[in-house]
Amino acid sequence: MPPTTFRIAIIGAGPGGLLCARILQRYGVPVTVWEREPGPEGPAPGGPLELRAAGGRAALRAAGLATAFRAAARPAGRETRLLAPTGALLRRETPDAGAAERLEIGRPELRRLLLDALAPGTVRWGAHLRTLHPRGGGRHQAVFDDGRTAVFDLVIGADGTWSRVRPLLSDADPHYAGVSYVETALDDADARHPGAARLVGRGRMLALSGGPGLLARREAGGRILVYAALPGAEDWAREAGVSLADTEAVRAVLLARFAGWDARLRALLGDSDEGFTDRPLFALPVPHTWPHTPGLTLLGDAAHLMAPFSGPGADLALLDGCELARRLVEAHTWQADPDQAVRAYEAALFARSAAAAGTAARDLAAAFGRGAPRPARRLRRPHPLGR
């Protein structure tokens, strides 16, 4: 695997792809990241990411970024509340004394941390992969929308839900998971929305009904991120005859969906300070595997997209990037076959991701299916869009 001849491309500058690039570079393996966004300040949708000590934080430690992570992270809310639609508190969970420290980081902060750890010019911005063409011997020619082309010995698809790399490995397409999250927020909640602040508490809140649900979580600066979870059709807004650009019309539709709920819960939607963003949930089949194909592999959501209710998507993506890079570094160090390194990575990936995706699918069905809420059941930490 001589560095002057073996060319590695990572498609997508998400956390998993950037961390993979960081570890490869740290040990002298050349790599280039190709990203469709025009620059590093592009959108990072969703709330902050709570990374587990044995998950994403372990991957960051392996990349030599533990100190940088701690400097950018903040303590995560330590309380989770389960409410009935009446507003009654059904269950409240707080960590036991001596429980592992919980830390979270904003998506823009995590991206900046990872980008700062890469050599200048590693990420090629504004490069949307159009097609990949096999060129024999595991090599593939990538063609980008801006006209650039390049041939690589290994292409790593880290390009998310609608991956352009995945179709060369798998016939599976993401399917609608049956629930849409509609995102909004309350700003400076303790001062401007004290009732909502008291209701949500210092961490996360779930209000479930065996149908629609409300999820809320504290963010930095007193902001409360709110999701209305709507089981049913993906095109609920069109069926209701409203445009998502019409904030007040969407608000009226949502309040109607939560008619009869406690006024304090409805106020999370009725008093929100931002517009509404529709985030339908998609998932890949469980398990999602593919036949090994020399010169290609996947990581993160491209490999194991799952419902972001309790699925540790960001943790898995970072672990994927770490594991793949580690095996490629070993092959580079010992001049071994990099294709065998990818095979070993995929075998571990399939087992790890199948278990996590299966749990996420079951938890999503339990949260918004008939019989919810289940106050006697121990709450899993919800990750609304917290992949």
Please report where in the chains the tokens 């709450």 appear, as a residue.
Answer: 379
pLDDT, tens digit (0-9, with 9 covering 90-100), for 105-142: 999 999 999 999 999 999 999 999 999 999 999 999 99
pLDDT of residue 1: 47
| Closest by Cα among 317, 312, 309 to 181 | 309
Q: What percent of the chain has pLDDT over 70?
A: 93
- Which pLDDT value is given to residue 312? 72
Contact 270, 261 (CB under 8 A): no
Distances (CA, A) of 239 to 41, 176, 230: 34, 17, 13
Say which CATH class 8-76+101-174+284-368 falls into: alpha beta
Q: What residue segments make up the domains of the chain, in order of their start?
A: 8-76+101-174+284-368, 176-280
- Beta strand extents in the chain (DSSP E only): 8-11, 32-34, 49-51, 74-75, 80-83, 89-93, 103-105, 123-124, 129-136, 139-144, 149-152, 154-157, 175-186, 204-207, 213-218, 224-231, 277-283, 296-298
Q: How far apart are CA 89 and CA 121, in angstroms?
A: 52
Averaged confidence pLDDT in the chain? 92
Least confident of 36-40, 286-290, 376-380: 376-380
Map residue 354 onto helix, strand or coil: helix
Q: What pLDDT shows up at residue 99?
A: 62
* Residue among 80, 133, 140 nearest 375 (CA): 80
End-to-end CA distance of the chain: 33
What pLDDT band is residue 202 in, cutting at 50, 70 and 90?
confident
User: Residue 84 has what pLDDT?
Assistant: 95
**pLDDT per position as a tens digit, 77-110:** 778 999 999 999 999 988 766 566 788 999 999 9
Tens digit of each residue's pLDDT (9 = 90 or more) over 143-192:
999 899 999 999 999 999 999 999 999 999 999 999 999 999 999 999 99
pLDDT tens for 229-265 read 999 999 999 999 999 999 999 999 999 999 999 999 9
Higher-pLDDT residue of 42, 82? 82
Mean pLDDT of 197-205: 93
pLDDT for position 173: 96
Segment 326-378, tens digit of pLDDT: 999 999 999 999 999 999 999 999 999 999 999 999 999 888 887 777 665 55
Rounded Cα distance between 31 and 8, Å, is 5
Q: Is the predicted pLDDT of residue 385 greater than 50, yes or no?
A: no
Phi-psi region of 102 (alpha: psi -120 to 50; beta: other; left: phi over 0): beta
Which three-class secondary structure state does DSSP give residue 89? Answer: strand
